[in-house]
Amino acid sequence: MTMESTVPSTEAIDNTARYPLDPLTGAEIETAAAVITDSEYSTPTLKFVMIQLAEPEKPSSLTFAGVAETPRRAFVSMYDGAAKLIYEAVVDVGARVIDSWKAVPGRFPSYLVEHMTGVEEVVRADPRWQEAMRRRGVTDFDLAMIDPWPAGYYGSQDHYDNSALVCRPLTFMRAAASEHGYARPVEGLIVTFDLDAMKVIDIEDHGVVPLPPTAGNYAEKFMFDENNRPAFTKFRDDVKAIEITQPDGPSFTVDGWKVQWQKWSMRVGFNPREGITLHEITYTDRGETRPIVYRASLSEMVVPYGDTEPTHWNKNVFDMGEVGMGFSANPLTLGCDCLGEIFYFDGTVNDSSGNAVTIPNAICMHEEDYGISWKHTDFRTGEVEVRRARRLVISMICTVGNYEYGFFWYFYNDASMEVEVKLSGVLTTGAVPDGEEPRWGKLVAPNIYGPNHQHFFNFRLDMSIDGAGNSVYEVDSIPEPDPELNPHHNAWITRDTLVASEAAGARDWDWTKGRYWKISNPSKRNELGAPVAYKLTPRDVVPVMVQEGSYIYDRARFVQHNLWVTRYDPDEKFAAGDYMYQSADMQGLPEFIADDAPLEDTDVVLWYTLGAHHVVRPEDWPVMPCAYTGFHLKPVGFFDGNPALDIPPSPPAACHHH
C-alpha cells in the first residue's frame, strides 16, 4: 500500500511545548542514556532495556493544566550481563542529572532489541543443532526460521544466583526463502540459549517427527505451493470499492498529544512496555469538565499453552513484560490497517545502546460511524426520530513473533468507552506423524496442529469518577428473596455489595447473576439523589485452564480473577510484577492486595482480566481471521438522562442505487 494520510503525524508537532505526561522525545531518550553513559555507574557491559517517561506524581486536581512547570524525567531500566543485575535510574533530562539509582537483584529483564534478531544466526551455526536437523533430513540450514521464545520456567535451575538470562528458541523450516515457515515446525527440538553470552547452552532432541508435507502460504506471491496446489485460485472479483470520506475533515482536534473529540478529552501516551497509554480522560457535561479515568493502559498479558509435549508445555509468554508492546508496535498503513480520515502518532523507543528509534504511525486515530445510537417511531403520528452513533478509535497493532495483537480504545458519543483486543497472525504449530491425532490440540492441515492455548490480557484503569474518592460495588441481579413480595415468581432485584477492602478485592464474574461492577463517587449525586457512577461490563468471559501446581500458575496469578480492585499506589503498575522473566515466584496483584488497604471512598484502581480461549480450527490456518474480546465502561447515573440526546440528526441521503 502506498496511500498516505492527509492529516499530519506527530512529526509535524515535535517542537510544541511538552506537557508533563507527554512521552519522551527522541532527544530526551538519548539525553537520558548519555547522562548514564557518562556517569560513574556506567560499565562496558551495561545495556539499556527501556527508557520512558518517569510520570510525575498524580496531582490532587487530576490534571496538570495550570500546574507549575514540572521537570521532565526519564525512567531507565538497564541490564548488565556481566554482573547479572538489573539497574533502575531516574534521570532529570533538563538538568542532565541522575536523581536516583538502584540495583534490582534476583530479577531478569525483558528482551533487549538485539535478542530478537541475533539468536537465529548463532543457533543456525551450532553443530549440535545442525546434527539434529540432519537427522530430520534438513541440509539447507539457511531456510531455517528460529524464533527466540522467552524461557518460560522449567524449575529451580532457571533461577539461581548468577544464573544466565536464557531463552528457548523454536525451529521451523521454510521450503523456500521468505515462505511461511510455521507450516513446518521442527517437533521435539529444544534449544537453551544464553542471552548474556549469546551462545547455545544445550540442545535437547526428543525424537524425530517428519516435517509436515504441505505449505501454509497465504500471500499473493505464494498463491501456488511447490506442488502447484493453490492456496487460493484468484482474488475475489466482486469486492467493490468502499470509501470513507469526511468532506469537512474529522471532528477531533489534536494539540500535541492532547485529543478532543466532541465532549471527550484525553491525552495519548506511548512507551516501550505498554505501548498506548491514555491519561486525563474527561467528559464535558453541560459546560462542566468531569473526570472519568486518570490513566488507562494494558498492564500485562500472558499466553499459557495447554499441551504437555516437550516442545510446547513450557510456552507461557508474557508478551508485554517479557518483550514489550511498544517495541512490538507496527508502523500502520492507511487503507490497510486504518481507513478514513486518520491522524497518526509516531512512537519513539530506544535500542540497547540508548539510541532513539522512531516507529512511524505507531498509533492510529480516526472516527467511525457505528450505526444507530437511538431511535423511536411514534406509530400514532408517524413521526420518527433517529440519531446515528459515532465512535473515536485509538489503536495500535503489535507483532510478537507469530501473533498479531490489535489494541483498540473506543469512545462513543453516548459517553461510554470500550476496550477491544483483536487477535490475528499465525498459529505457533506442532507436528504429528501420519495418522496420529494430537491429544492437546487440533489438526489444521495434514500433520500440522495448533496446541490448545489461551490469551489473557489485564488492563489497569486508574479511576476518577467525578474525582478521586470512589467506591466499587459488585452488582448482582437475583430473584426477589422475600417470597411474600414475589407471589408470581417473576420479580427480581439488584443487590449491591461494597468491595470494602483489598482482601475482598479479587472478584469473579457470575453469568447467573448478570454481574457487573459499579464505580461510584459517594460525594457526588445525580438529580435522583444517587451517587454518580460508571459500570464495567464483561464480554466473552472464558474459563481459566491454568492449573495450580503448574509453573505458570504462580507467575500469572492475575488470570485467576476477572477483576481486582486495589488502592492507588504509583509503584503498582503491572499485574504480574515489574520483572517476571525467568522467575517462578508470585508477583504483582496478589502482593498488591496483601496489606488489605481500605477501598471505600478512596483512590481506587481497577484491574480487569479478559481472555481468549483458543481451540484452533482449520479455518484459523494458514493465517487467522481476527478474533475479538474486550469489555465496556458505561455511565450509570453519571448523567441525568441520555447523554446522546444532543446528537444532531443526520441529513437524509438517498442510497446510490436510487
Average pLDDT over residues 184-196: 95
Q: Is the dihedral of CA 634, 637, 642, 643 positive or negative?
A: negative
Burial of 542 (0-12, 13-18, 19+ CB in 10 A): middle
pLDDT band, very low/low/confident/very high, at 583 (cuts 50, 70, 90): confident
Most distant CA atoms of the chain, gap in Å = 84
3 state SS for 160-190: CCCCCCEECCEEEECCCCCCCHHHCECCCEE
> Looking at residue 242, what is its pLDDT?
87
Q: In the chain, which residues fall in CATH 2.70.98.20?
A: 254-468+537-636
pLDDT band, very low/low/confident/very high, at 224 (cuts 50, 70, 90): low
pLDDT in tens, 441-499: 999 999 999 999 999 999 999 999 999 999 999 999 999 999 999 999 999 999 999 99
Grid cell 482536534 in the structure block, residue: 253
**Can you name the residues that pair with 443 across neighbouring β-strands?**
449
Average pLDDT over residues 94-112: 95
Question: Could you give the 3-state DSSP secondary structure of residue 131?
Answer: helix
**Is pLDDT of 230 > 80?**
no
> Looking at residue 658, what is its pLDDT?
42
Question: Could you give the 3-state DSSP secondary structure of residue 95?
Answer: coil
**CA–CA distance, 468 with 294 (Å, rounded to integer):** 9
The length of the chain, given as a count of residues: 658
pLDDT band, very low/low/confident/very high, at 222 (cuts 50, 70, 90): low
Encode 184-218: b = buried (16+ Cβ within 10 Å), e = exposed: bbbbbbbbbbbbbeeebeebebeeebebbbbbbbe
pLDDT in tens, 532-572: 999 999 998 999 999 999 989 989 999 999 999 999 999 99
**CA–CA distance, 461 with 458 (Å, rounded to integer):** 10
Q: In the chain, which residues fall in CATH 3.10.450.40?
A: 26-104, 107-240
pLDDT band, very low/low/confident/very high, at 5 (cuts 50, 70, 90): very low
Number of H helices, E strands in the chain: 5, 32
Domain 107-240, second-level architecture = Roll (3.10)
Cα 62 to its chain centre, rounded Å, is: 25
> Looking at residue 7, what is its pLDDT?
39
Average pLDDT over residues 66-85: 93
Residue of 485, 507, 490, 489 lying closest to 498 (CA atoms): 507
Which residues, 6+ apart, have CB-to-CB distance to 630 below 8 Å? 408, 418, 419, 420, 421, 539, 540, 610
Outline where DSSP puts E strands in 125-274.
Answer: 144-147, 166-167, 170-173, 189-194, 199-205, 252-255, 258-261, 264-271
Question: Could you give the 3-state DSSP secondary structure of residue 128?
Answer: helix
**CA–CA distance, 115 with 401 (Å, rounded to integer):** 12
Instruction: Please give the full DSSP string across 551-582, using - where no structure is assigned.
Output: HHHHHTGGGG-SEEEEE--TT---TT-S--TT
pLDDT band, very low/low/confident/very high, at 337 (cuts 50, 70, 90): confident
**Is pLDDT of 142 > 80?**
yes
Integer angstrom CA distances of residue 384 from 296, 348, 648, 649, 652: 39, 50, 14, 11, 12
pLDDT band, very low/low/confident/very high, at 25 (cuts 50, 70, 90): very high
Contact predicate 89/96, CB 8 Å: no
* Half-sphere CA count of 448, side-chain side, radius 13 A: 26
Integer angstrom CA distances of residue 174 from 123, 219, 229, 281: 16, 14, 17, 47
Burial of 97 (0-12, 13-18, 19+ CB in 10 A): exposed
> Looking at residue 8, what is its pLDDT?
41
pLDDT band, very low/low/confident/very high, at 4 (cuts 50, 70, 90): very low
Average pLDDT over residues 406-425: 98
**CA–CA distance, 372 with 378 (Å, rounded to integer):** 17
Supply the mean pLDDT for the chain: 92
**CA–CA distance, 491 with 480 (Å, rounded to integer):** 5
Lowest-pLDDT choice from 64-73, 91-100, 215-224, 282-291: 215-224
> Looking at residue 525, what is its pLDDT?
97
Whether residue 23 is preceded by a cis peptide bond, meaning omega within 30 degrees of 0, is: no
> Looking at residue 650, what is its pLDDT?
87
* Half-sphere CA count of 206, side-chain side, radius 13 A: 12
> Looking at residue 232, what is its pLDDT?
66
**CA–CA distance, 210 with 446 (Å, rounded to integer):** 12
Grid cell 556517569 in the structure block, residue: 39
Lowest-pLDDT choice from 43-47, 81-85, 313-317: 313-317
pLDDT in tens, 421-442: 999 999 999 999 999 999 999 9
**CA–CA distance, 54 with 71 (Å, rounded to integer):** 10
The cell for 15 is 517542537
Average pLDDT over residues 578-606: 94
User: What's the CA dihedral at 142, 143, 147, 151 to 10 degrees?
Assistant: -60
**Can you name the residues that pair with 92 across neighbouring β-strands?**
73, 97
Question: Could you give the 3-state DSSP secondary structure of residue 393?
Answer: strand
Q: Is the dihedral of CA 33, 36, 38, 44 positive or negative?
A: negative
**CA–CA distance, 635 with 524 (Å, rounded to integer):** 14
What whole-number percentage of the chain has pLDDT above 70?
94
Average pLDDT over residues 345-349: 98
**CA–CA distance, 633 with 371 (Å, rounded to integer):** 19
> Looking at residue 216, what is its pLDDT?
80
**Is pLDDT of 360 > 60?**
yes
Grid cell 438529580 in the structure block, residue: 527
Question: Could you give the 3-state DSSP secondary structure of residue 492?
Answer: strand
Residue of 235, 305, 604, 621 lying closest to 451 (CA atoms): 305
CATH topology (fold) of 254-468+537-636: Beta-galactosidase; Chain A, domain 5 (2.70.98)
**Is pLDDT of 132 > 60?**
yes
- Look at domain 26-104 and name its CATH class: alpha beta
The cell for 564 is 481486582
Average pLDDT over residues 368-397: 95
DSSP label at 289? E
Considering only residues 242 and 505, tell me which one the structure prediction assigns the higher pLDDT: 505
> Looking at residue 445, what is its pLDDT?
93
**CA–CA distance, 236 with 258 (Å, rounded to integer):** 41
Grid cell 508445555 in the structure block, residue: 313
Lowest-pLDDT choice from 292-301, 434-443, 581-590: 581-590
Strands 506-507, 531-539: pairing kind: unpaired
Strand order, beta sheet including 441-445: 430-431, 448-451, 441-445
Contact predicate 333/282, CB 8 Å: no
Active site residue ranges: 319, 403
Considering only residues 305 and 2, tell me which one the structure prediction assigns the higher pLDDT: 305
pLDDT band, very low/low/confident/very high, at 218 (cuts 50, 70, 90): confident
**CA–CA distance, 222 with 201 (Å, rounded to integer):** 36
Residue of 33, 38, 80 lying closest to 52 (CA atoms): 33
Q: Element (H or E) spanning 506, and its range?
A: strand 506-507
pLDDT in tens, 646-658: 999 988 774 444 4
**CA–CA distance, 652 with 658 (Å, rounded to integer):** 13
